[in-house]
Amino acid sequence: GQQLNQSPQSMFIQEGEDVSMNCTSSSIFNTWLWYKQEPGEGPVLLIALYKAGELTSNGRLTAQFGITRKDSFLNISASIPSDVGIYFCAGQLRQAGTALIFGKGTTLSVSS
Cβ-based neighbour number of residue 75 at 10 Å? 15
In the complex, least distance from residue 78 CB atom to other proteins, rounded to whole angstroms: 26
Which of the ranges 14-22, 45-53, 62-70, 72-80 carries the binding residues for other proteins, by CB under 8 A? 45-53
Which of the ranges 13-21, 44-52, 54-62, 71-79 carries the binding residues for other proteins, by CB under 8 A? 44-52
Q: Is 35 in the site for other proteins (CB under 8 A)?
A: yes
**CB 110 within 8 Å of CB 83:** yes
The strand pair at 44-49 and 31-37 is best described as antiparallel
In the complex, least distance from residue 4 CB atom to other proteins, rounded to whole angstroms: 9
Within the chain, what is the greatest distance between any pair of CA atoms? 43
Between 3 and 111, whose beta carbon lies closer to other proteins?
Answer: 3
Distance in angstroms (rounded) separating the CA atoms of residues 7 and 9: 5
Contact string 89-108 vs other proteins (x = CB under 8 A):
-x-x-xxxxxxxxxxxx---
Binding test (CB under 8 A) with other proteins, winner from 22, 25, 31, 79: 31
CA angle 25, 31, 33 (to 5 degrees): 85
Rounded to 5 degrees, φ, ψ at 55 are: -120, 120
Give the binding site for other proteins (CB under 8 A).
31, 33, 35, 40-45, 48, 50, 88, 90, 92, 94-105
